[in-house]
A and B are shown apart, each in its own frame.
Chain A
Amino acid sequence: MTTTLPRPALVGVETPASLLRDLAATRPRDVALRVKNRGIWREISWAGYWDNVEIFAHALIASGIVTGDRIAIHSENRPEWVYTDVGSIAARAVCIGLYPTNPSVEVEYLLFDSGARILVVEDQEQADKVLEIPADRLPALETIVYLEHRGVGVYDDPRLISWDELMQRGRDHRAAAGDAVERRMAEATSDDLAYLVYTSGTTGPPKGSMLTVRNLDFAGKVLRSDDGIVSPPPGPQDLLVSYLPLCHIYEKLFSVVFSIWVGAQIHFGESIDTLVADMRDVSPTVVQGVPRIWERIHAAILVRLGSASRIKKANAVVWLRAAKRIGATLAANHGKHTPLSRVLLWLGDIFLFRSLKERVGLRRCRYAVTAAAPIAPEILQWFMGIGVPIHEAYGMTENAGIATRNAPGRITLGTVGEAYPGTEVVLAEGTNEIITRHGGNFVGYWGQPEATAAALDADGWLHTGDVGEWVDGTHIRIIDRIKDIIITSGGKNISPSEIENSLKTSPLVKEAIVIGDGRKYLTALIGIDFEIVSEWAQRKRLAHTTYRDLSEKPEVVALIQKVVDDTNAKFSRVEQIKRFSLLTKELDHEDGELTATQKVKRSIIDDKFGDLIEAMYT
């Protein structure tokens, strides 16, 4: 920072807030955010973004928020989310995001554990979840700010105020004590906590990972570096749509960190229902997705082609075959084209791919990334084949989402790629656990020193809990979570997720949970995919009604037996699934069986389906 800036020089460190303020000074009129409101994409400039953030920070200071206080937000993605996020950091407070799907009991846990003093709720739905909790059980919570007036405006809880009222408080404060935020930002240090990111553990209650300003700065610099994720490196012309849950490190990394460190433009759509239309409107250049999203886009495109006219269908058949060939070439060449594949892609683009991509908003995508869960290489290959440059990456909350990625032109399918420059990612001796050490490593779990000590060792290594193996000496393939590794009573180590993923490659299987820790043999709980098995049953003229009814049909059990047999054929003798049971209900977050990110919570499954499991061992 130099003294030539038109504002008081920042003493202190680069935080998202200070970078945003600088962007507002250097590029005040450029677009930072767009939000679709009443049918129109409204633009928010960097100056407008900073203005809102600054006012929010003033409002926090006016409300008596001091350094280190916690501010929570429970909302779908929208500009107020990022105002709260960056505004909290500007006031040196800590921001906590809640999943919109978090039920009331989880809201209570998260608010209580973090001791949040202010909670921003989107609407009546989220307000009800917190108001349901007796006020004395959340002693720290002083203020509940609501964004949508409707339905909440008539409530009389004294803690409630509207967003507009809060922001007015901020404006008044700014008028009276102009540089309060500036002064607070100047005191900021790299060790300031920026976020508590709660990870919905598949075992035990969520833990709040403490991420500091330094962690964000590190992540931001990695993402925008020349050898980061995309080449040429990202810049202000890049467009993104913010749609994954913003409380998760993955979306935060893009909607906040990437946005501010790179200066890219973030878009907030009308609602989750209109995501496809919004994507089409924006046609983002950088697309961050999770396997579920990519699988859905893939399926949607195929379904759509299925209902096209005959000529179009014929055209699609030809070009999708070409896409397959392109994908295979790219997969074999680490994502690099051969002259032939380049020509094919160019032609395919004219005949088919361009319009396909257009429909789902991937037309201008120059970098797509998938992370957060394993994805089938076939899906990646399919997208690569139609010209979507998709890359698998790996990271976790505890290392600010930064560990490995498949860089353009150095892709190895089935792996999560290579370590980013400036990071240390290795496999621990003996256990083969992936451990990372870099500026993004978190500083610990909120209020849980033992858990922190278990994750961060004395040398600064973060133990990810994932077991990996090297591929070609450069890329890492993830085998499983360490604690999920099954040790049978015979003492054999078995990776259940490999078997589970193999089962799940069958479209008939939606969920698979392999069991066998401390047991003589392996068993599995399998959840069928209702749509697809129902379709099959119809062809077999097998009358059925509900999910449970279908799962209980002996014919369906026999069908799944075949899937299990196929999987068994691929694995060694100790890895054979001896028996399995079909789940009679679809697993669900609200019922506690899945985490907010749709991962199976094993402990809950053990409890809920204990009888089913025991029955397989008797």
Chain B
Amino acid sequence: MALVSGIVWLGIAAAVAAWAILARTTGAIGERKGYHPRAFLVLGLLTGPVGLIAAILIGPAAHPVPVRGARAHGELLRLPRAKLLHEVLPRHDDVSGPIVEIDDIHLSFAGVKAIDGVTFSVRNSEIFAVIGPNGAGKTSIFNCISGVYHPQQGAIRFMGHDLIGMRPDRIADLGVARTFQNIELFPQMTVLDNLMLGRHQHVRYGTFSAMLRAGRASREEARNRAVVEGIIEFLEIQKFRKSYVAMLPYGIQKRIELGRALAMEPRLLLLDEPVAGMNLEETEDMARFITDIKRELQIGIVLVEHDMRMVMDLADHVLALDFGKPIALGLPAEIQSNPDVVRAYLGEEHAIADEGATA
């Protein structure tokens, strides 16, 4: 039976291949009638195997039926669907004191002072902005908190840990995540993979125990995926889930970078110029996500940003730096009208323009 169907199949494939070739050579089937019927047969016999292979290659094999309607872990999941991120990520309303305290830190490179006596603290659900001219030491503060630089003086306390001298990966494990001025994602990987990778910096099992207890590892993987899917929903990037990062617009890449940081379940999020190079719409999106993170996740956020509208609208407190030195610390409105800040950073025009706008 198999043999018969094989022969029939071969014959059909041959005829089809012949037809295909004829169509190619004669322009189109039916348009030119001048071809010789015998050529049809000869070609058919000669090209039969080719046709068969082609049929296999181009045909159904190349397009497997997608998995559909997959049951979620075999259980019936009920609606209404959860939307808030804190249902996936833990929400931290337990901490009342500051999450991070920066206490009089000093940092210098070869005698050049990069940070000169900076002190501030950030609480849960607080957006703390650091502003200042280019090269004033803002990014250096991030690097101190995340363990890339080690300040020569002062202390950084994070949830009861002293961070100075600690390795960056350890600090990340404790719950400090950051985004970068330049996007640091894997461009040749999908959005999903990039986010999953963000999770893997947050592994709860060692290689050895993973070998012994594969079950736990796969449970962990399922949870990782659940968290990542929660982030995808939160950041509204469902339609980019399987897209390669390199192919996505800049604004979306920045959003994914934020997602990667969130995937680490941080208690403190350091955002380094999250809206640089973005247009207003993209900036609005980012502002909304930052506000939602603050509202729904209740984590501390340190924001370095030159977009003054963003800083003034979102920040709870603002620290202004110049040449590594704090020149003002206070509420956004106070900072905006502070003469030192205006002189060193905002410029007269900006201060006036904003007063005009708010008047």
Chain A residues contacting B233 (CB-CB under 8 Å) are 37-38
A454 to B229, CA, bound (A): 54
Tell whether A38 pairs with B76 under 8 Å between CB atoms, given A148-B83, A271-B239: no
- Classify chain B's interface size: 35 or more
- Give the A-binding residues of B (Cβ under 8 A): 12, 16, 19-20, 23-24, 28-30, 54-55, 58-60, 62-63, 65-66, 68-72, 76-81, 83-84, 225-226, 229-230, 232-233, 238-239, 241, 292
A79 to B81, CA, bound (A): 9
Q: Which of A41, A45, A354 contacts B60 (CB 8 A)?
A: A354
A47, closest chain B residue (CB): B76
Write 26 A-B pairs (CB below 8 A) sorted by A numbering. Answer: A34-B69, A38-B229, A39-B238, A40-B229, A41-B69, A41-B70, A41-B72, A42-B77, A43-B76, A44-B78, A48-B78, A80-B79, A80-B80, A149-B84, A273-B239, A281-B68, A283-B68, A312-B58, A317-B23, A318-B20, A321-B23, A321-B29, A347-B16, A351-B55, A358-B66, A363-B65
Q: Which of B12, B84, B230 contacts A38 (CB 8 A)?
A: B230
A321 to B292, CA, bound (A): 54
Q: Which of B20, B68, B70, B238 contacts A315 (CB 8 A)?
A: B20
Chain B residues contacting A317 (CB-CB under 8 Å) are 23, 28
A350 to B51, CA, bound (A): 12
Tell whether A271 pairs with B66 under 8 Å between CB atoms, given A347-B16, A351-B59: no
Is A282 part of the binding interface, using a Cβ–Cβ cutoff of 8 Å?
A: yes
**3 pairs of A and B residues whose beta carbons are closest in the complex:** A38-B229, A42-B77, A273-B239
Distance between B51 CB and nearest chain A CB, rounded to angstroms: 10
Q: Which of B58, B63, B69, B232 contacts A43 (CB 8 A)?
A: B69
Residue contact B59 to A354, C-beta cutoff 8 Å: yes
A358, closest chain B residue (CB): B63
Q: Which of B58, B78, B225, B238 contacts A271 (CB 8 A)?
A: B238
A209 to B72, CA, bound (A): 41
A598 to B16, CA, bound (A): 44
Chain B residues contacting A282 (CB-CB under 8 Å) are 68-69
Residue contact A355 to B63, C-beta cutoff 8 Å: yes
Chain B residues contacting A322 (CB-CB under 8 Å) are 29
- Additional A-B contact list (9), CB under 8 Å, known A273-B238, A283-B68, A318-B24: A37-B81, A38-B230, A38-B233, A41-B72, A43-B69, A44-B79, A52-B79, A318-B29, A355-B60
Residue contact B238 to A35, C-beta cutoff 8 Å: no
B64, closest chain A residue (CB): A358
A43, closest chain B residue (CB): B76
Distance between A245 CB and nearest chain B CB, rounded to angstroms: 20
Tell whether A41 pairs with B16 under 8 Å between CB atoms, given A150-B292, A318-B24: no
Residue contact B78 to A274, C-beta cutoff 8 Å: no
Residue contact A48 to B59, C-beta cutoff 8 Å: no
Chain A residues contacting B232 (CB-CB under 8 Å) are 38-39
Distance between B35 CB and nearest chain A CB, rounded to angstroms: 14
Distance between B11 CB and nearest chain A CB, rounded to angstroms: 12
Mark each residue of chain A from 23 to 37: 1 if its CB lies under 8 Å from any CB of chain B, else 0: 000000001001101
Mark each residue of chain A from 80 to 92: 1 if its CB lies under 8 Å from any CB of chain B, else 0: 1000000000000
| A interface majority secondary structure | helix
A312 to B54, CA, bound (A): 11
B69, closest chain A residue (CB): A41
Residue contact B23 to A318, C-beta cutoff 8 Å: yes
Q: Which of A34, A167, A274, A350 contacts B80 (CB 8 A)?
A: A167
Distance between B272 CB and nearest chain A CB, rounded to angstroms: 26
Is A164 part of the binding interface, using a Cβ–Cβ cutoff of 8 Å?
A: yes
Chain B residues contacting A172 (CB-CB under 8 Å) are none
Chain A residues contacting B54 (CB-CB under 8 Å) are 351
Is A135 part of the binding interface, using a Cβ–Cβ cutoff of 8 Å?
A: no
Tell whether A35 pairs with B79 under 8 Å between CB atoms, given A41-B68, A270-B238, A355-B62: yes
Chain A residues contacting B29 (CB-CB under 8 Å) are 318, 321-322
Q: Which of A40, A148, A280 contacts B70 (CB 8 A)?
A: A40
Chain B residues contacting A354 (CB-CB under 8 Å) are 59-60, 63
Q: Which of A42, A45, A149, A163 contacts B72 (CB 8 A)?
A: A42
Residue contact A347 to B12, C-beta cutoff 8 Å: yes
Distance between B229 CB and nearest chain A CB, rounded to angstroms: 4
B71, closest chain A residue (CB): A43
Is A184 part of the binding interface, using a Cβ–Cβ cutoff of 8 Å?
A: no
Mark each residue of chain A from 328 to 368: 1 if its CB lies under 8 Å from any CB of chain B, else 0: 00000000000000000001001110110010000100000
A34, closest chain B residue (CB): B69
B70, closest chain A residue (CB): A41
* Of A34, A41, A45, A52, most B-chain CB atoms within 10 Å: A41
A283 to B66, CA, bound (A): 9
Chain B residues contacting A350 (CB-CB under 8 Å) are 55, 59-60
Residue contact B83 to A150, C-beta cutoff 8 Å: yes
Residue contact B65 to A358, C-beta cutoff 8 Å: yes
A23 to B249, CA, bound (A): 47
Residue contact B16 to A351, C-beta cutoff 8 Å: yes
Distance between A47 CB and nearest chain B CB, rounded to angstroms: 9
Residue contact A45 to B59, C-beta cutoff 8 Å: no
Tell whether A280 pairs with B79 under 8 Å between CB atoms, given A43-B71, A312-B58, A351-B55: no
Distance between A125 CB and nearest chain B CB, rounded to angstroms: 13
Distance between B23 CB and nearest chain A CB, rounded to angstroms: 5
Chain B residues contacting A149 (CB-CB under 8 Å) are 83-84
Chain B residues contacting A325 (CB-CB under 8 Å) are 30
Residue contact B20 to A321, C-beta cutoff 8 Å: no
Is A314 part of the binding interface, using a Cβ–Cβ cutoff of 8 Å?
A: yes
Distance between B276 CB and nearest chain A CB, rounded to angstroms: 26
A350 to B12, CA, bound (A): 12
Chain A residues numbered 117-142 whose CB sits less than 8 Å from any CB in chain B: none
* Of A167, A318, A325, most B-chain CB atoms within 10 Å: A318
Tell whether A321 pairs with B28 under 8 Å between CB atoms, given A282-B69, A283-B66, A315-B20: yes
Chain A residues numbered 155-199 whose CB sits less than 8 Å from any CB in chain B: 163-164, 167
Distance between B252 CB and nearest chain A CB, rounded to angstroms: 12
A34 to B76, CA, bound (A): 11
A357, closest chain B residue (CB): B63
Chain B residues contacting A281 (CB-CB under 8 Å) are 66, 68-69
Chain B residues contacting A274 (CB-CB under 8 Å) are 238-239
Distance between B337 CB and nearest chain A CB, rounded to angstroms: 28
Chain B residues contacting A312 (CB-CB under 8 Å) are 58
A49, closest chain B residue (CB): B79
B19, closest chain A residue (CB): A318
Q: Which of B28, B79, B225 contacts A42 (CB 8 A)?
A: B79
A80 to B70, CA, bound (A): 21
A280 to B229, CA, bound (A): 20
A110 to B308, CA, bound (A): 42
Distance between A459 CB and nearest chain B CB, rounded to angstroms: 46
Distance between B232 CB and nearest chain A CB, rounded to angstroms: 7
B84, closest chain A residue (CB): A149
A275, closest chain B residue (CB): B239
A37 to B82, CA, bound (A): 9
Distance between A27 CB and nearest chain B CB, rounded to angstroms: 14
* Of B70, B80, B225, most A-chain CB atoms within 10 Å: B80
Distance between A114 CB and nearest chain B CB, rounded to angstroms: 25
Distance between A48 CB and nearest chain B CB, rounded to angstroms: 6
Residue contact B59 to A164, C-beta cutoff 8 Å: no
Distance between A116 CB and nearest chain B CB, rounded to angstroms: 21
A150 to B87, CA, bound (A): 13
Chain B residues contacting A80 (CB-CB under 8 Å) are 79-80
* Of B28, B59, B68, B70, most A-chain CB atoms within 10 Å: B68
Tell whether A164 pairs with B80 under 8 Å between CB atoms, given A325-B30, A351-B16: yes
A83, closest chain B residue (CB): B79
Chain A residues contacting B292 (CB-CB under 8 Å) are 150
A423 to B188, CA, bound (A): 59
Residue contact B77 to A43, C-beta cutoff 8 Å: yes
Distance between B83 CB and nearest chain A CB, rounded to angstroms: 6
B24, closest chain A residue (CB): A314
Distance between B5 CB and nearest chain A CB, rounded to angstroms: 14
Distance between A590 CB and nearest chain B CB, rounded to angstroms: 18
Distance between B338 CB and nearest chain A CB, rounded to angstroms: 30
